[in-house]
A and B are shown apart, each in its own frame.
Chain A
Amino acid sequence: MIHYLLLPFFSFLFIVLQTTVFELLFLNLVSIEISLILVIYAGFHMDVLKGGLLSFALGFFLDVITGTIVGLHIILYLSIFFISMLVSLRVYAERALFILSYVFACALFECGVVLLFYKHIQGLDLFHKFDTVFLPQILVVTLVSPVCFNSFRRFGDILNVRVERSNKRSRNR
């Protein structure tokens, strides 16, 4: 029960840290979306309810704090979380190369959805920003993802994750 009570506070703190400290580390040149990596990690290691609520809360706070339309990142994060859950049932998701490739694909998916959403729903064409804004973000998120996965694993006790699923798969292999 304590997990569900702490979840909103944890998510809020995480997004605030992401938009302040993490961006300072990159001299405010690139927005680094660690929350996306956390959602993917949750998809691989957490159950539907906990992971779904975490994705929902992260998406909500990201939308509110960054001024994006409320609901856009919630939908995106929930989609990525559920897709990651399905992928984790079939793939051993602990190899660095797989993590890199998968995070890259998810970041690209997120970017594509955001661009299409703005173009078709908001009437705002942001495709020209792909090279200068989105691609650097995608590459940075991809490159830091293995380190983030390791960090999340270490904080696993706090997050109350279930690592049994992936361990069981690795034993079977």
Chain B
Amino acid sequence: MLFFKKHRSLIAATILVVISLIMLSYHVVNPSVEPGPVRKIVLDLAATMERGVNTPVEALENIWKRYLFLIGLERENRRLVQHNALLTRQLVQHQEGYLEAQRLKKLLSLSDSISYETVAASVTGRNRKSLHQTIMIDKGSIHGIKTGMPVVADRGVVGRVIETSGHVSRVLLLIDESSNVDSIIQGGRGQGILSGDGSSRCFLKYVPKLEEVRLGDAVITSGICGVFPKSWLLGTVSRVARGESGLFQTVEVRPSVNFAKLEEVLVLTSPKKGRND
């Protein structure tokens, strides 16, 4: 007993270090383990408090945008009308293409287009420490979201869920360096792995030099690894470089989603019943 009293500090220090080493080892060995109840509670509480802080900031931003930024509104309106006309033309073309593809699919007896059950979520926070490109969304395990589920937006793939608590989830974005998505270049059907560069771009890795890649080619999910459904837009080829050495070419891809302005996303939870993938 006297020993414990005498060496109380040393024992406390040793216990703390041992506990932290065990925690670190456990999470290194099991990186994709579901968060425990303490972590879930902490994440939920932190998200609630962060929302409390962000609400007045967003309100101020809205005031700025709505009332003080009206100066360029008329010019912006003209530009948008022109842009709208252009988009309408493109939409008609795409609809034609879509209908043609549908007819061809029927002819070839291919499966119907991918259809998933979805959960809509709002982006409540962004990465804070800049080590990983992640966002927080306001839906969690009680809404049916699980680790590994793909997340998409209207313009294409956003990323995948890497952590969930009761009411919030963390999404690893495509542009993160640890994100890897099996992809296809739509034009030449060349395959590769799409990885982020940690800022705002992606690179398509392992594309052989013999493969023809053109600027503006769409890069889509291959659906091979099973995480992302097939044929979802990831981005477009923005730069191609064939170095003198090496087997592969450097293909830079501009993501189709603007991650800085992302507000709403869809989490694909499961394939719809009665439909094929």
Q: Which residues of A contact B (CB under 8 A)?
A: 12, 15-16, 19-21, 23-24, 28, 31, 47-49, 52-53, 55-56, 59, 61, 64-72, 74-75, 78, 82, 114, 118, 121-122, 124-126, 128-129, 133
Contact = CB atoms under 8 A, between A and B. Distances in A.
Contact of B24 (A21, A24, A70, A118): A70
B4 to A, nearest CB: 13
A49 B27 contact: no
B214 interface: no
A49 B8 contact: yes
Nearest to A33: B129
A83 B13 CA distance: 12
A69 B16 contact: no
B230 interface: no
Contacts of A71: 20-28
A52 B163 contact: no
Contacts of A59: 20
B131 interface: yes
B17 A126 contact: no
Q: For the complex, would chain B's binding face be called helix, strand, loop or mixed by DSSP majority?
A: helix
Nearest to A21: B53
Contacts of B9: 47-49
B54 interface: yes
A136 B10 CA distance: 36
B130 A82 contact: no
A75 B20 contact: yes
A52 B54 CA distance: 32
17 contacts: A12-B42, A19-B50, A20-B50, A28-B126, A31-B130, A48-B9, A48-B13, A55-B16, A61-B42, A64-B46, A66-B128, A69-B28, A69-B31, A75-B20, A75-B21, A78-B13, A78-B16
Nearest to A123: B178
Contacts of A15: 46
